[in-house]
Structure 1
Amino acid sequence: MRKRIYWLLPDLDAARKTMNELLLARVSDRHIHFVAEDGSDMTGLHAANILQTSDLVEAAQTGLLVGAGLGAAGGVVAAYVLTGTGAAPQAVVIALAGLGAVLGTWSSSMIGSSTPSRRLKRFEKQIAEGQYLLMVDVPRTRVTDIEELLERTHPEAHFEGLEPNVPAFP
């Protein structure tokens, strides 16, 4: 399991230097994400994608659970109605639960992909002012090492917290 560390960097130059130092510290570039104001220069940085900047993953998970639950409930009702027609009630419940899960995941992920991440909401002001947000995902055993590296090499940067659990998917 990984933890996500947040740092605010004042400008592009500091962000580039930080990116290079993290790469030299053997942090893979797929675990380093930068967020900046729309239209900002991101040359030399690994920009965060929709998985890091939106609520897509959380929305899809919620849609999966709600859709499966509603589909299963509809399946129970359908099985009750179809009793005596020869249809297997368990198959109807399972089929409608699966269909509900698929439709719930799809529709919720469409909404979630267009919703800004609630985790990044607290950084909106600083990003709008031109700062760069660094999100670096590191194994639990390396959190202290990476924090010390960034504190030592970038006194102008601000540590902004630690997210306890980063999903493996994004």
Structure 2
Amino acid sequence: MRRRLYFVLPNIRSAQAMMNELLLDRIDENHIHFHAQNEQIIAQLPKAGAIEKSDVIYSALAGFVFGAIFGLLGGLLAYFVPWWFGEVALTVIPYCMVIGALACAAWAAAVATAAPGYQLRAHRQQLEQGNILMVASVPWQRLREIRQRLMLHHPEALYGGVWPAEHRLFP
């Protein structure tokens, strides 16, 4: 399982230095992404895609659950109202659940790509000022080590948090 680290960087030199440091920490380039208001600034750095910029995965999961629930209700309606739908077998319920789950998951994911993600909205003001947002997906076992090293070696970078958040279940 991986966690996303968010850092706000003041310029392109700082972004390149942070990327080099993460590469030395054996974080693959596919797990490091940058986002800026002006995309031309970060031309040679890996740009953030739809998954990093929006809440596509969480929206798709929520759409899958709600679609399955609505499919269950639709299947029950089709089964218990034979005068409206005709005689249907009891197997219509799982079919409706699967179709509803897949359709709602696809719809929710498509809608989520149009809106900025939760974490991106938190850094909108800093991005409008010309800063660069770095999103690094790191293994959760090495999260504290990498975060402390980056904060120590790059004091100009503002730490923007981790997603999903760290929670301690027991003190």
TM-score grouping bracket, smaller chain normalisation:
0.7 to 0.9
**SS class of match (1:136):** strand
Unpaired stretches in structure 2, ≥5 consecutive residues: 167-171
TM-score, normalised by the number of residues in structure 1? 0.88
Aligned counterparts of 2:104 and 2:140: Cα–Cα separation in 1: 33
Residue 89 (structure 2) aligns with: 88
Please say if 1:46 is aligned against 2:51. no
Tell me by how many angstroms 1:165 deviates: 5.8
Work out the percentage of aligned pairs sharing the same amino acid: 32
Residue 18 (structure 1) aligns with: 18
Cα root mean square deviation, aligned: 1.9
Contact 1:71 1:96 in 2 (8 A): yes
Give the aligned residue type for 1:6.
Y
Aligned counterparts of 1:55 and 1:148: Cα–Cα separation in 2: 27
Tell me by how many angstroms 1:100 deviates: 0.8
Please say if 1:104 is aligned against 2:104. yes
Unpaired stretches in structure 1, ≥5 consecutive residues: none
Give the aligned residue type for 2:73.
A
Tell me by how many angstroms 1:133 deviates: 0.9
TM-score, normalised by the number of residues in structure 2? 0.87
Contact 2:78 2:88 in 1 (8 A): no
| Number of residues of Structure 1 aligned to a counterpart in Structure 2 | 164
Deviating above 3 A after TM superposition, structure 1's stretches of 4 or more consecutive aligned residues are: none
Aligned counterparts of 1:59 and 1:160: Cα–Cα separation in 2: 22
Aligned counterparts of 2:120 and 2:38: Cα–Cα separation in 1: 14
**SS class of match (1:6):** strand
Tell me by how many angstroms 1:15 deviates: 0.2
User: 1:9-158 maps to which residues of 2 (within 5 A)?
Assistant: 9-82=9-82, 87-89=88-90, 91-158=91-158
